[in-house]
Chain A
Amino acid sequence: MSFPDTIRPGALIRSGDQPSPDMSGWRVDRKPAVQWSLCVDCLLCWAFCPDSAVVVESGHFAGFHYPACKGCEICVATCPTGAVAMVPETSPVGPRGEMGGEAR
């Protein structure tokens, strides 16, 4: 195994050097989802997520990036309005865990 061309001097790592690994397998039967009607877009879940699995687009909460989510439920614990909840993996939610209407 040899990859000297891909290593910068000092082993400096830049964003995008490595593909993000799929961590979905860490979750046990449940994944986070958001009830849009309850969400106040406070972004606390984004601030507290240890795996950058909360997607923010143009400054607004846009759902979950499931491949990065390990199912730790910190987002659920930090949500002040109960908008984020764990649902079964097989639940018919949107690709980013969207439920109940449109994002604010």
Chain B
Amino acid sequence: MTSWFTDKPQDLRRFRVLTGGQAVAEALRQIDPDVFPVYPITPQTPIIEAFAQCVADGRSHARILTAESEHSAMSAAVGAALAGARAMTATASQGLAYMIEIVYLAASLRAPVVIAVGNRALSGPINIHGDHSDGMLARDSGVVQVYVTTAQEAYDWMVMGVRLAEHGEVLLPVMVGLDGFTLTHSAEPVEILADAAVQEFVGPYAYPYPLLSEVAGTYGAFAMPEHYFEIKRQQIAALERAEAVLPAITRSFAKLCGRQYAPLEGYCMEDAERAMVIMGSQRGTAQEAVDKLRERGQKVGVVTVRLFRPFPRRDLAEQLRAVQAIAVFDRASTPGSFPPLYLDTRAAVRTPRVDSVIYGLGGRDLTPDDIVAVFDRLKRPAVDADPIFYAGSDEIEQER
């Protein structure tokens, strides 16, 4: 059998049918972090349930710290990471919202914590389904953000995320976002690497300035304006470096399994005249819609963004260079302005026509027909009075 990512023959015995949550838990078991601080509700993902079972069965030496809140869970992760222990955690939705204060601290204290986030809507109304609003809360915190499109990618990016977070030039938290339910609770074949291969890939945790060393130090001190500005600038530069060091990590990962990742990926983009930009699990739907339109002779394509922070603006500009009209699909909103992926894309390209589409809030389905309708809309003149299109709510005249 050959995998859908590579022509290399694959060993079928390495494939297991796993949900995204279970796949992340498998990655956690193989990475075997020292500390895994979590708060087990509000809502949580199946990740900690599956990983807690591994620890209970003696298959991981990790210490699971069940904190009294996500705020404390993230605080414990930061403390452990700076003390010199490999710390990872998982959360979702309101849980990430409650963590967010310490997520900013984790980034500024340069604690390389890998965080799995089952991306879900924020209340209210109360809703537990998939969207990217929770992840967008952490957008400006300074963490590396990856939004994966399959359970396999969730597994792969957890493993690569450790190397990226702990890279000496980066030392920042890495947030691996997998869409709630669409990925966290849906099962698909996932290739699980050998335990030894993952352990060799991530290597031992070697934080360069551990608190538990022979040299004393002050962590998290107050900074006056002049220093604060420079420290923030240094932190921003570190996040930018994450994009530069990523190719070496993805290449080294590709040697393990043949799957070669990039910050973003184009599909049918070679001669595309109209293109859409999207993140997360709806990539499959987008590609299906593109296939459908290609059969009708329409030159359309899709770019899937995986690395959201730092934003791969040069790669995106290159992908969209020859495109005449773009629709950017956001699964989050910025009330009163344009949504995040739209603004980043707008800033990266010079294309005059860039439409904003908001889809899938609170888990609403995005259908291939919705996408076809948006591509049709791109053929007509822009409607300035109504700049954002709400998929599934707004009517578009369909071409028959």
Q: What is the interface of chain A, defined by CB distance below 8 A to chain B?
A: 1-4, 7-15
Q: Which of B126-134, B220-228, B384-392 contacts A (4 or more CB under 8 A)?
A: B220-228
B171 within 8 A of partner (CB): yes
Contacts A4-B233, A4-B234, A15-B216; A10 near B227 (Cβ below 8 A): no
Q: Is the CB of A11 within 8 A of B221?
A: yes
Q: Is the CB of A11 within 8 A of B216?
A: no
Residue count of chain B within 8 Å CB distance of chain A: 23
A-B contact count (CB 8 A): 47
30 intermolecular pairs with C-beta atoms under 8 Å apart? A1-B230, A2-B230, A3-B230, A4-B233, A4-B234, A7-B230, A7-B231, A7-B234, A9-B110, A9-B208, A9-B234, A9-B238, A10-B108, A10-B110, A10-B111, A10-B209, A10-B219, A11-B109, A11-B223, A11-B227, A12-B209, A12-B217, A12-B219, A13-B217, A13-B218, A13-B221, A14-B215, A14-B217, A14-B218, A15-B216
Q: Which residue of B lies closest to A2 (CB)?
A: B230
Q: Is the CB of A10 within 8 A of B109?
A: yes
Report chain B residues within 8 Å CB of A12. 209, 217-219
* Contact of B171 (CB < 8 Å), options: A3, A10, A14: A10
Report chain A residues within 8 Å CB of B48. none
Q: B164 to chain A: closest CB distance in Å?
A: 15
**A51-B49 Cα distance, complex, nearest whole Å:** 49
B138 within 8 A of partner (CB): no
Q: Which residue of B lies closest to A11 (CB)?
A: B231
Report chain A residues within 8 Å CB of B218. 12-14
Q: Which residue of A lies closest to B168 (CB)?
A: A9
Report chain B residues within 8 Å CB of A10. 82, 108-111, 171, 209, 219
Q: Which residue of A lies closest to B218 (CB)?
A: A13
Report chain B residues within 8 Å CB of A15. 216-217
**A52-B333 Cα distance, complex, nearest whole Å:** 53
Given A11-B220, A12-B219, 18 other A-B residues pairs in contact with their CB atoms under 8 A: A1-B230, A2-B230, A7-B234, A8-B209, A9-B110, A9-B171, A9-B208, A10-B110, A10-B111, A10-B219, A11-B108, A11-B221, A11-B227, A12-B209, A12-B218, A13-B218, A14-B215, A15-B216
The 6 closest A-B pairs by CB, nearest first: A10-B110, A13-B218, A9-B110, A10-B109, A11-B231, A12-B217
Report chain B residues within 8 Å CB of A14. 215-218
Report chain A residues within 8 Å CB of B215. 14
Report chain A residues within 8 Å CB of B171. 9-10
Residue among A1, A4, A12 facing the most chain B CB atoms (10 A cut-off): A12
Can you list, as one digit per residue, whether each of B105-132 has a CB less than 8 Å from chain A (1) or not (0)?
0001111000000000000000000000
Report chain A residues within 8 Å CB of B223. 11
Report chain A residues within 8 Å CB of B238. 9
**A7-B209 Cα distance, complex, nearest whole Å:** 13
**A4-B230 Cα distance, complex, nearest whole Å:** 6
Report chain B residues within 8 Å CB of A9. 110, 171, 208-209, 234, 238
**A7-B223 Cα distance, complex, nearest whole Å:** 11
**A82-B373 Cα distance, complex, nearest whole Å:** 89
**A14-B219 Cα distance, complex, nearest whole Å:** 9
**A4-B82 Cα distance, complex, nearest whole Å:** 21
B residues 198-248 touching A (CB-CB < 8 Å): 208-209, 215-221, 223, 226-227, 230-231, 233-234, 238
Q: A73 to chain B: closest CB distance in Å?
A: 26
**A11-B219 Cα distance, complex, nearest whole Å:** 7
Report chain A residues within 8 Å CB of B110. 9-10
Q: A104 to chain B: closest CB distance in Å?
A: 29
Report chain B residues within 8 Å CB of A7. 227, 230-231, 234
Q: A44 to chain B: closest CB distance in Å?
A: 24
Q: A14 to chain B: closest CB distance in Å?
A: 5
Report chain B residues within 8 Å CB of A8. 209
Report chain A residues within 8 Å CB of B208. 9
Q: A51 to chain B: closest CB distance in Å?
A: 16
Residue among A3, A9, A13 facing the most chain B CB atoms (10 A cut-off): A9
Q: Which residue of A lies closest to B228 (CB)?
A: A11
Q: Which residue of B lies closest to A10 (CB)?
A: B110
Report chain A residues within 8 Å CB of B231. 7, 11
